Amino acid sequence: MNKGNGLLIRLGRNTLRLLYYLGGLTSFAFQSFYLTFLPPFRRDRFFEQARRSGVDSLPIVSLLALFIGIIMALQTAVQMQRLGSEMYIASIVALSLVRELGPVITALVVAGRVGAAFAAEIGSMQVTEQIDALETLATNPLKYLVVPRFLALLITLPALSFIADITGLVGGGFMAITQLDISAMQYISRVQTIATPTMFFIGMIKAPVFALLITAVCTYQGMSASGSAENVGKITTIAVVQSIFLVIMADAVFSIVFAKAGI
């Protein structure tokens, strides 16, 4: 077998693995989505996951958004002051945060923090045969483990994105007012001009999609765990990397669609 044929064989195998993975992930996501609307509804598990994914993530998301707002205001000021256009600093900060950075940064933080926990917890249960025990007790593992996590992230991720937007705008406003000689009324006026309901909708519509991608990938990887604790660590890393990649890819698709639509 020559080198060229070997390369084609490896390419074919990797393509088949990718298609198999995408097919399994899609089927898994649709099954979980379907089970979301079927009783019983486990409110206790939903509230527990909402607290862990939402409330516990609030400090790090807010702090990160605050610093991003500060950095954006300072870095934008360097260029705007050269052009004598300091008043546009608020517009750039507001547009970037509300439309793009707020939901994307929040999703990345949640993928690294909450998504990793999803994969590790379910992976550990899979390795220790706890999921098999659930099936023995006639309990659907997807309904018991995946659906509460999906519903929790579906609600908490948009809420966290909104808080990130507000916190980032506060950080940008603090630097603009204290360091760039822009009055509070001027900053608020420019933010209100840019942060329209349309811009807010563009940012918020991304959050549920990001929540679906993160939950589907991380729980699917957890369900596929096997062997030892080393494998759980491996699939946790893979889950975080894949979910972050899909979040960025989905944001790029959103950007193209909105650009084509003239929004």
CB atoms within 10 A of CB 245: 13
d(CA 59, CA 156): 13
Q: How far is CA 81 from the centre of its chain?
A: 34
Nearest Cα neighbor of 152 from 176, 124, 117 is 117
Q: What is the mean pLDDT of the chain?
A: 90
Q: How far is CA 95 from the centre of its chain?
A: 19
Length of the chain: 263
d(CA 98, CA 175): 18
The stretches of 139-263 forming alpha helices (DSSP H) are 141, 147-179, 184-194, 197-223, 229-261
Please give the structure tokens belonging to residue 91: 């517009």
CB atoms within 10 A of CB 154: 19
Question: Residue 214 above 90 pLDDT?
Answer: yes
Which residue has better confidence, 180 or 208? 208
pLDDT in tens, 48-89: 999 999 999 999 999 999 999 999 988 888 777 777 677 788
Question: Residue 105 above 80 pLDDT?
Answer: yes
Question: Residue 153 above 90 pLDDT?
Answer: yes
What end-to-end distance do the CA atoms of the chain give, in Å?
Answer: 54
HSE-CB at 138 with a 13 A cutoff on CA atoms is 0
